[in-house]
Amino acid sequence: MNKDILERTYKAFFFTSILYLFIGLHIHFPIASLLKPLPIFCLMFLAEHSSSSLSKKKLIWLGLLFSASGDIVLSLKAQNTLEFGLFCFLLAHITYIILFNRFLSQWYLRKDFFFIFILTVFLVSGLVFFILSPYLGQMKIPVALYMLVINLMAISALRHNPISASGAILFMFSDALIAFNEFMFKNHEYSFWIMLSYYLAQFFLITGFIKNQQDKKSASIAINSACNKPH
């Protein structure tokens, strides 16, 4: 990837994130709805200019497009937007699961630590669901399904590298804040931390995957070069 394009895209991502965090959160539709997905569009641009294959780019675009759609839907604050937003992000996580598992890299963790991570993820999410359960009403089954899918996404991300895994953990944290904020506290002061962790989650998920693919490509080139050297 061109270094200049990479730096400009990073700057655009962080600028648009800050723009929404400090301005977008304090204004209303339609401007807020236009500002909210801008950082996600920056990540789509980043994927487009990465060295990843077209099939990988398509899955990244699809996951980010579902995410941007969820962002816009949730910003509308109309009836049933939570359900539609949840569905959009459910599709995004399913897309990421396919992405991480179809283009699997070598595990960077020992298997015992990997299974400890799996156990921790399910224990923490189970505790969150147990706390939220009395407040969920008819949303109990959809929320349980969503939590299961995001757990699987986090496990899939861990099989690539620490960057993607960090993004998945931040995504779970952001979604847990949304759930507590929506069903228990109804406190808009959490919005800043929800969006900050969400933007960072998407950034680490996508850049971690791209870096992993670039490292694999560089390693393959190095091996081929070494094999082709005259002895």
- 43-53 burial string, b = 16+ CB within 10 Å, else e? bbebbeebebe
pLDDT for 28 equals 83
Distance CA 63, CA 209 (A): 13
Distance, in Å, from the CA atom of 153 to the CA atom of 158, rounded to the nearest integer, reads: 9
Spatial separation of the C-alpha atoms in residues 52 and 18, rounded to whole Å = 28
- What string of pLDDT tens digits covers the 231 residues of the chain? 677 888 999 999 999 999 999 999 999 888 999 999 999 999 999 998 886 678 888 999 999 999 999 999 998 877 788 899 999 999 999 999 999 988 766 556 677 788 898 999 999 999 999 999 999 999 999 999 999 999 999 999 987 788 999 999 999 999 999 999 989 887 777 899 999 999 999 999 999 988 877 666 654 555 556 566 665
Amino acid 133: pLDDT: 95
Question: Which is it for the CA torsion 93, 98, 100, 101, positive or negative?
Answer: positive
What is residue 87's predicted lDDT score, i.e. its pLDDT? 96
pLDDT of res. 149: 97
Q: What is the pLDDT of residues 26-64, one digit of tens each?
A: 998 889 999 999 999 999 999 988 866 788 889 999 999
Report CA-CA distances (Å) from 188 to 68, 178, 192.
21, 10, 8
The region that residue 77 occupies, defined by phi over 0 for left and psi between -120 and 50 for alpha, beta otherwise, is left
Q: Check: CB of residue 100 under 8 Å from CB of residue 158.
A: no
Extract the tokens encoding 8: 């400009």
Residue 226 confidence (pLDDT): 56
> Which tokens is 185 given?
């506290």
CB 118 within 8 A of CB 155: yes
Token pair of 50, please? 């990465």
User: What residues contact residue 100 under an 8 Å CB cut-off, 6+ apart?
Assistant: 153, 156, 157, 159, 160, 164, 209
pLDDT of residue 211: 83
Give the model's pLDDT for residue 218.
55
- Output the pTM of the full model: 0.90
Residue 93 pLDDT: 98
Rounded (5°) CA angle 154-138-69: 50
Q: Which amino acid, one-letter code, is at 220?
A: S
